Amino acid sequence: MSNVDRRKFLALGLGTAAGAMALGKMPQALASACGLTPPQTSGPFYPGEQNFQPENDLTRVPGRPGRALGQVIYVRGTVQDEACRPVKGANVELWQACASGKYNHRSDPNPAALDPNFRYWGEADSDAEGAYLFKTIMPGQYPANETWERPPHLHFRISKRGFHELVTQSYFEGHPLNPSDLILRNVPASERNLVVVKFEPAPPGFEPGALIGDFQITLR
């Protein structure tokens, strides 16, 4: 995808119909929930700030005709402050494993195969209403050590001048490994609902067969 095409793509929010729905107002239940998003570890596989670039579609790699393996998902939300006011221009970084559970990082010991058609990381800036959107795939679970299997999750780093930087993770509601995950269990029980996201079939205007989930981000 050329730089010009990428700018158009980002400006349209992954297409006119999808953008209107994904970057519009969040459901009322989300709008009323302004508790601070719990911070979590970045983990050992952060790709490095210099590797990020404005790209919110991780399902394709420029110059390659194939698409990433796995279930396509859309992650959308609003970056807001403690008073529920939208935060414009917040930089949202996302990185994750591919469908096999492998990170594109030299320190990842997982023997699973990398996906040459997956981008692994991207970033987007929140718009005037604080909204952001990513198109990606559901990551695979993977062994963290001999006795600990991590559930599928997404990593986020959110920064904006005047706010505390936030590093956190989001999880997929209902996954059987969630209750035993050591990192998720370290989040206070009363706050875990803020990082566990429900995914449902995406409405018309998004890629057929995709799932969509809302991850609300509240900064200090």
Residue numbers annotated as active site: 103, 142, 150, 153, 155
- Return the number of other C-beta atoms located less than 10 Å from residue 164's C-beta: 11
Angle at 197 between CA 135 and CA 214, to 5 degrees: 50
**Residue type present at position 193:** N
Element (H, E) at 125: strand 121-125
Query: Across the strands, what pairs with 162?
Result: none
Whether the Cβ atoms of residue 193 and residue 184 lie closer than 8 Å to each other: no
Q: Residues 6 or more apart from 6 whose CB is under 8 A from it? A: 54, 55
Contact predicate 141/96, CB 8 Å = no
Phi first, then psi, for residue 28 (nearest 5°) are -60, -35
Burial of 15 (0-12, 13-18, 19+ CB in 10 A): middle
Q: Are strands 142-143 and 149-150 parallel, antiparallel or unpaired?
A: antiparallel
Whole-angstrom distance, CA of residue 178 vs CA of residue 195: 11
